[in-house]
Structure 1
Amino acid sequence: MVGFAAAPAAAAPTDTTTVTFEVLAGTLDIDAPATADLGTGSPGGTITGQLGSVTVTDGRASADASWVATVVSTDFQTGGGTASETVLASEINYWSGAATATTGTGTFTPGQPTTGDQEPLDNTAPLTAFSHVGGTGNNTAVWNPTLVVNVPLDSQAGIYTGTVTHSVA
């Protein structure tokens, strides 16, 4: 019998690995304080106070990371909610002010950058509070809006309660 020797195995000097990973998209959220006390004032005067930090968190990881945050308000009432126990939303001005913090790319724009830009709230038409245009990926914006209550001259004494609602889309 004649013996045959097996040919030696050829060495592979390189090899490739296909690697994948996934970047997850999150949500677009807004967070505002649960309560705020603006202070006290007299009929015919003004009451001015800040709501506390409002934060938009855009975790959508999007090619166009634009969004608009809006704000509306109910009327504020005390007691039985009669005319003299009601401060209309339109008698309360909103002023977003500049951002206190931002992250990400794009342009962040306050709806009312200065006190001179304050606008009356409404319970039917949303007011732009803050916006973000362009950029990619994730971003955040934080601002601390100011409310200016123009207390009607015929207002009765009491603790007035209403709801200010921020939304983002």
Structure 2
Amino acid sequence: MRTAKICLAGAAAAAMVGVLAAPAAAAPTDTTTTTFEVLVGTLDIDAPAAADLGDGAPGGTITGQLGTVTVTDSRGATNASWVASVTATVFQTGGASPPETVLPEEINYWSGPSTASTGDGTLTPGQAAAGDADPLSSVTPLTAFTHSGGTGGNTASWNPTLVVNVPLDSIAGVYTGTVTHSVA
């Protein structure tokens, strides 16, 4: 009997060592909760600093492109819609006293089609073709381009054309004014 107790005690001790010495079982997978943040950006418009449309005679027209205008929308919005608009000041020549003027309403604006774009949504030019050109105003903004729908970021560029209807009574000189694009 004493031998049976010793054997039983030895077996129990061996089993205990086997349990303690067994390698740990690893989990087959593990997860890590990971986060990042997409920041709210801005809605910006960039237009050329200066443009020379050329020259023409009184009673004629002067036609020239303004240069590339670009809207960049990095707001990360669920509805990435925006409207770009354009106004102009009175154009004046410094050669006369008082200065001679050409009113913005005597200058037609034609946005033309998009020259480059990214993102989704629908881009629509304010004036798709030359025949759609509209007069500028110093008071009432003219729609240059729109973007509707879409999500996240987008960009749109166009190269608008200005058509100056030179008044017949205009005097010779260089006329200077400001064309202002804005986006909202």
| Distance in 2 between residues matched to 1:25 and 1:104, nearest whole Å | 16
Structure 1 residues 22 and 59, CA gap change in structure 2 (3 angstroms): same
Letter in 2 for 1:155: S
Which 5+ residue runs of structure 1 have no aligned equivalent? none
Q: In the alignment, which residue of structure 1 is the partner of 2:149?
A: 134
- Deviating above 3 A after TM superposition, structure 1's stretches of 4 or more consecutive aligned residues are 3-11, 80-83
* Equivalent position to 1:13, from 18, 24, 28: 28
* Equivalent position to 1:112, from 99, 122, 127: 127
Q: How many residues align?
A: 167
Structure 1 residues 38 and 166, CA gap change in structure 2 (3 angstroms): same
Q: In the alignment, which residue of structure 2 is the partner of 1:124?
A: 139
| Distance in 2 between residues matched to 1:151 and 1:81, nearest whole Å | 19
Structure number having the greater helix percentage: 2
Range with bigger deviation, 123-132 or 6-15: 6-15
Structure 1 residues 141 and 152, CA gap change in structure 2 (3 angstroms): same
| Distance in 2 between residues matched to 1:142 and 1:105, nearest whole Å | 14
Which 5+ residue runs of structure 2 have no aligned equivalent? 1-12
* Equivalent position to 1:44, from 31, 52, 59: 59
Shift of 1:21: 1.2
Scaled by the length of structure 1, the TM-score of the pair is 0.93
Letter in 1 for 2:124: T
Scaled by the length of structure 2, the TM-score of the pair is 0.85
Shift of 1:82: 3.8
